[in-house]
Structure 1
Amino acid sequence: MENSTNPQIKVFVESAKAMKAERYFSQDSKENQRDFLYALQEVVGEVAYHLDRLGILEKPAMDAYLEKTNVKVPGFPASAELVLITAIEERIQELWAQERSADS
């Protein structure tokens, strides 16, 4: 796999190694957690694109998750991207709310 000439495979392998090397870095503050989650959204968006393209996640499971979490985005069918990105965004919003609450 590491010797592949496919540029996407090379990038995914290199990215995975880099992320694994920093897996245990502490996200000690809410600001760091938010920044990390914003960066994670970028990576997850790209991974989700491929999950969707390859049909990895089953639509009924994604529909169930979106219904359970009450996520409704008109015009967007259930997809890995919608499921994963909205989950990350919800956590980001929780962190913002916690910070505003602490400042009050």
Structure 2
Amino acid sequence: MLIKAHHVVTISQTDSHISPKMKSFFVIFGVLLISTQIAAQTTSGCPEICPAVYSPVCVEATINGKLVRCLFSNSCQVGVSTCRRGINWCKQNEEKCEKSSPTCSQYR
């Protein structure tokens, strides 16, 4: 019993040494840390890995006023490009992508 009472006194003594300004600092710091983690999660919500399945998908989009056609290995890679780059790809017949745009590599 005496040990517990001594332990409680020690904690209350430690608490009294933290000023209200320091407590406010820790609360603000904690809130900023949590909000940074939430922001990082929402911006990196794009898939990182796609299956290694070759099922070609021909897509096109108008980027900076120019029509761009690209052949992606599969629909997952199209989704990743859409998510990361914000490009609204439209699926096309595969024959249209016999000659992909030279700029496709920068949109993958």
Per the normalisation by structure 1, the TM-score is 0.25
Per the normalisation by structure 2, the TM-score is 0.24
**Higher fraction of helix:** 1
Q: Which structure exhibits the higher relative contact order, with contacts defined as CA atoms closer than 8 Å and separated by 6 or more residues?
A: 1
**Higher fraction of strand:** 2
